[in-house]
Structure 1
C-alpha cells in the first residue's frame, strides 16, 4: 500500500474511488480539462520553446541511446563546472517532447547553470518500465559524457507531472545530488483505472516497483512542488510523498506555489529569480 497522509483538504477523489465510474476517475487526472486556459498556455510554451531552441542550437538532439527519442537537448553554462538541472518533461508518459520545454532552461541559464533535457520513448511504444530505464541510461550518459559538452557540475534532477515520477524514482542515481519534483504523480495504482492506462497498460509489478510512494525513501534532498490550483489528486500525492520522506527524516521542502496551476507552475523556471530556480539553488545547499 502507498503511504497516505490523513489530510482531508482539498477532498481527494481517490478516497471514494470505488464509487466513481471510469470517466470520473479519468477526470481526477485530466490536467488539460482542469485548467481552463491550458491550450493557450501550452501554445505559448511551445512557441517560446521553439524560439529558445533556435537561439541555442549547438547542443540539440544529442543521442544518449539508440531509440529515436532517446536524445538530449543540452544548454551548457559558460562554466563547465556549473551545476546542471536535468529536466524530465511530462505528458503522462505518452505525449509531449523535450523540445516543448526548452524555454524553461532560460532562468537557470541566466543564473549561470547548465540545463539538460532528455527525451524518452513514449507509451505505448515503450512500457513505463522501459521509460524508467531510458531515463536511467540518460543519467548514465550525462555522467560519462557531459563534460565533453561543457556540463560537469553537480546535478539536480527535476521533472514535471509524469516527469516528476521519473525524477523521484531516479533520485538515488549516483550522479544525482538532489531532486526537484513538480506537480507529480507518485502512486501509479489509480492511473490503471483511467483512460491513461489504455496506452500505459501498467502491470502489478510496475505499480509496486515504480511508484515513489511505495518505495523506500532515498535520503537525498528532494523538494516537492505543486500549484495551489492543481487537481486534488496531484496535491495529495505531493503532500503524501513529502510526509513519507519527512517521517524518514529525509531532507527537502514541500512547496505549494500560490495561484499556480499544473501548467503555470513551470513559469518559476523562466527568470533567474523564479521560485523554481531558487529552489534548485537551495537544494545544492542542502546536499552539501
Structure 2
C-alpha cells in the first residue's frame, strides 16, 4: 500500500488525534506533584533524582518530551514510580528548551545530567524517554562520544518510547519555526543516521494507535540499528496512543518496565 505524507504538520500533530488530549497535561502535573511529595528525591540540576528505600539496584533515566520546547521533569515525576518500586533510582534530567537551546545543545545538556546521576548511583543504567525524550535516549547511546565511556559501558538497556530517530522530516513542519533546525544539524542529531554503541539492547516502543509517522520512526530506528549490529526490537503497544503509551512506567509489573529493567 502506497504511503505518502501530504500534510507534514498534521503528520506530527498528536493532540488533535487524541480524545480528551487537553486533560492529560494537568493530570500529569497533579500526579507528578503527589509522587514527589511521597518519594525521597533530590535535585539533579533543574531536574530530579528519585531514590528507593535502601540501596538502589541501578539507575533508570527518563527524559521528557514536548518537541524539545515544552514541559519539564516536574511534569512527569510519577513516571518514576514503577522503577522506584522495583528498587531502582530514577533520574529525570532537565534541559533548556528550544528556541533558547538548539537540539545539539540539548543533547549535551542531557548527557551531562545522565553523567552526573551516574556519579551518584552505582550499578546498571537503563535509558528511556518519550517522544523528543525518546530521541534523546537513543542519542545517548550513539557511538560518537555523547556519553563518556565509563558511563556508556554501564548501560544495559535503551527504550526510546515514541521516539524520533530521523529529524529531517521536521524541517517540513511549523515546529521548525521554534527548533531552527537546518539540514546539517537535523542529520547530525538523528540517531537513525548515526551508529549505535554495540551490545546495548535497544527496544523501540510505540503505541499502536499513534500517528503513522511515529510508528514509522520507531520501526526505522529498530531496522537501521539492527543492520548496524545492535540488538534491537520493536514493540507496537496495542491500544496505546501518544499520551498514554508511557503509563506502563508507573507500574512495576508492566511489560514496559520489565523490558527496561530486565
Normalized against structure 2, the TM-score is what? 0.91
Of the three residues 190, 210, 229, the one matched with 1:249 is: 229
C-alpha deviation, 1:40, in angstroms: 1.8
Q: Within the alignment, does 1:153 sit opposite 2:135 as a pair?
A: no
Q: Within the alignment, does 1:267 sit opposite 2:247 as a pair?
A: yes
Of the three residues 159, 164, 173, the one matched with 1:194 is: 173
Contact 1:269 1:275 (C-alpha < 8 Å) held by counterparts? no
More deviation, 267-276/117-126: 267-276
Distance in 2 of aligned mates of 1:129 and 1:248: 23
Q: Within the alignment, does 1:215 sit opposite 2:194 as a pair?
A: yes
C-alpha deviation, 1:222, in angstroms: 1.0
Distance in 1 of aligned mates of 2:37 and 2:22: 23
Distance in 2 of aligned mates of 1:281 and 1:57: 20
Q: Within the alignment, does 1:92 sit opposite 2:92 as a pair?
A: no
Of the three residues 181, 205, 209, the one matched with 1:225 is: 205
C-alpha deviation, 1:81, in angstroms: 4.4
Of the three residues 118, 121, 138, the one matched with 1:168 is: 138
C-alpha RMSD of matched pairs (Å): 1.6
C-alpha deviation, 1:243, in angstroms: 0.9
* Aligned residue number for residue 3 of structure 1: none
* Aligned residue number for residue 62 of structure 1: 44
C-alpha deviation, 1:57, in angstroms: 5.5
Contact 1:110 1:272 (C-alpha < 8 Å) held by counterparts? yes
> What 5-or-longer segments of structure 1 have no aligned partner?
1-7, 64-70, 283-288
Distance in 2 of aligned mates of 1:105 and 1:139: 15
Distance in 1 of aligned mates of 2:62 and 2:52: 15
C-alpha deviation, 1:279, in angstroms: 1.0
C-alpha deviation, 1:45, in angstroms: 1.7
Contact 1:80 1:153 (C-alpha < 8 Å) held by counterparts? no
> What 5-or-longer segments of structure 2 have no aligned partner?
none
Distance in 2 of aligned mates of 1:241 and 1:35: 24
Aligned length: 252
C-alpha deviation, 1:30, in angstroms: 0.7
Distance in 2 of aligned mates of 1:87 and 1:240: 22
Distance in 1 of aligned mates of 2:8 and 2:83: 36
Of the three residues 10, 25, 28, the one matched with 1:42 is: 25
Normalized against structure 1, the TM-score is what? 0.83
